Structure 1
Amino acid sequence: MDREKAIDEAKFSFGELREALVERHSEETQQKLERGRVAIAGLGGLGSNVAIALTRIGVGHLHLLDFDRVDLTNLNRQQYFLDQVGRYKTEALSETLQRINPYLDIRLDTVKIIDENIEELFQEDEIVCEAFDVPEYKAMLVSGILEHFPEKKLIAASGLAGYESSNLIRTRRVSKNFYLCGDEVTVSTYGKGLMAPRAALCATHEANMITRLLLGEEDV
């Protein structure tokens, strides 16, 4: 479903949806959220949950990046459905987000992020959320953003597998514009792989830190 079709089929106007958000958040807060431009790199257990949370609070502009397709094994923790298996994650997630808010501005890049395209892909984004599963990809993106865009806010994740205590997940400020969410220790092993509750918990840490940054709050 494209954005124009989603808007045509919407049961509520932009004004009605916005009024509902303002009632919860206040006009001042909602204006700041609407101006936000957030890139989410990786749309798996972290990224798909981050995108859902930011859409629900009315962040205005989301940039979704992933080259992968929805697989049956993704459904244990990612925000996709059986009828979306085989589709590109960018397109499937965009359709789901439009069901929440058809007026959301969504940019899709169905590409594999590599060292050579980081500078081109993230130029227009205010905040970059790293949401990969593979440690090597995480390190590559973090290094690239810190090198090319040291002024941008960067939120990454490390340590979220299994079913260890929820209280071990935290958000830590690593440097001026770099935040890290997770327990920074736990890795995926047999019997303690990536599971919905803890992946969503870490994703919510990322989404909440993004929200704080959009609203002018920074952890010490």
Structure 2
Amino acid sequence: MNIIPTLEEMRSALDNRNGKSLQDKFANSTVAICGLGGLGSNIAVALARAGVGRLILIDFDKVEVSNLHRQQYKASQTGCFKTEALAANLKEIAPYLTVITHTRQIDENNFNELLCNADIICEAFDGAEAKAMLVNSVLEKMPERYLIAASGMAGIDSANVVRTRRITDHFYLCGDEVSDVEDNIGLMSSRVMLCAAHQAHMALRILAEKYEA
């Protein structure tokens, strides 16, 4: 028998685990996730489970078979837009989460429109050009927003070299800052998820007003 807990039951469980004051901060926050691949889909799941109130999901790709080994999608969702598939999966995990989806490519012309309501922005793109565009645009045009980007999570090197660094007061960088999938070293789900966890955890720390990496 499939019984979904009530909002009160789910919130009480989080309050008991983490404290009401902290959960209030999470519940009243909005985090944008730009790119819903190995990084972004895992960031979203972690934040949804933590009780973050609103997630903005931005991507224009569809789920492919090659995504399934490291991204939070089901085989039955192959061919679906990632925004729609991930929103559905998140609703199974956190049914009272507010999910806002934008199935479009973010660029210099629309990033402010898409991100203006976010407290924290997570950069989770695959390509260097898209990463640079988002980071440069947010740092230049939205300097008051917190930005958490990623660099280096490819290959099977030690998990211990993946870290979070605070670059400026509002800009954080997660990863080993060296490895690149273009070097044909592969993408291991465990290492990609580890980097995503760094990003999600830094977002939670910022919401908790703990700003040191």
Q: TM-score range by the shorter chain?
A: over 0.9
- The one-letter amino acid of 2:71's match is Q
What is the identity percentage for the equivalent residue pairs of Structure 1 and Structure 2?
49
Letter in 1 for 2:47: L
Please report how far the alpha carbon of residue 190 of structure 1 lies from its aligned counterpart in structure 2 after TM superposition.
6.0
Instruction: Tell me if 1:48 matches 2:33.
Output: no
Given residue 39 of structure 2, which amino acid in structure 1 is its aligned partner? L
Q: CA deviation at 1:12?
A: 1.4
Question: Which of 72, 77, 95 lines up with 1:79 in the alignment?
Answer: 72
Report the 3-state secondary structure (helix = DSSP H, G, I; strand = E; otherwise coil) of the residue aligned with 1:76.
coil
User: Partners in 2 of 1:93 and 1:61 — Cα distance?
Assistant: 14
Determine the C-alpha separation between the residues in 2 that align with 1:97 and 1:77: 16
1:1-220 matched pairs, under 5 angstroms: 11-189=4-182, 192-219=185-212
For the residue of structure 1 that corresponds to 2:33, the secondary structure is strand
Equivalent-residue separation in structure 1 for 2:3 and 2:124 (angstroms): 30
Instruction: Give 1:193 deviation, angstroms.
Output: 1.5
Q: How many residues align?
A: 212
TM-score, normalised to structure 2, is 0.97
Kindly state the Cα deviation for residue 114 of structure 1 after the two structures are TM-superposed: 1.1
Find the residue that maps to 1:63 and give its secondary structure: strand
User: What amino acid maps onto 2:188 in structure 1?
Assistant: M
Aligned to 1:211, what secondary structure does the other structure show? helix
Cα RMSD of the aligned pairs, angstroms, is 1.2
Distance in 2 (alpha carbons) for counterparts of 1:151 and 1:171: 20
Q: TM-score, normalised by structure 1?
A: 0.94
Question: Could you say what secondary structure the match of 1:115 adopts?
Answer: coil
Deviation at 1:191, TM superposition (A): 5.1
Could you tell me which runs of 5 or more consecutive residues in structure 2 were left unpaired when the two chains were aligned. none
Between the aligned partners of 1:128 and 1:165, the Cα distance in structure 2 is 27
Letter paired with 2:105:
K
Amino acid in structure 2 at the alignment position of 1:129: C
CA distance in structure 1 between the partners assigned to 2:212 and 2:4 by the alignment: 39
For structure 1, the 5+ residue unaligned runs are: 1-8
Task: Describe the superposition over 1:180-199 as per-residue Cα deviations: whole angstroms up to 9, x where unpaired.
Answer: 00010101146522220110
Q: Which whole-Å deviations, capped at 9, do the CAs of 1:140-173 have from their partners, x for residues lacking one?
A: 1001111110000000000100111101100001
**For 2:38, what is the secondary structure of its paired residue?**
coil
In structure 2, C-alpha distance between the alignment counterparts of 1:193 and 1:135, rounded to whole Å: 16
Q: Structure 2 vs 1, CA of residues 10 and 123 (structure 1 numbering), >3 Å: closer, same or farther?
A: farther
Secondary structure at 2:187 match in 1: coil
Letter in structure 2 aligned against 1:213: I
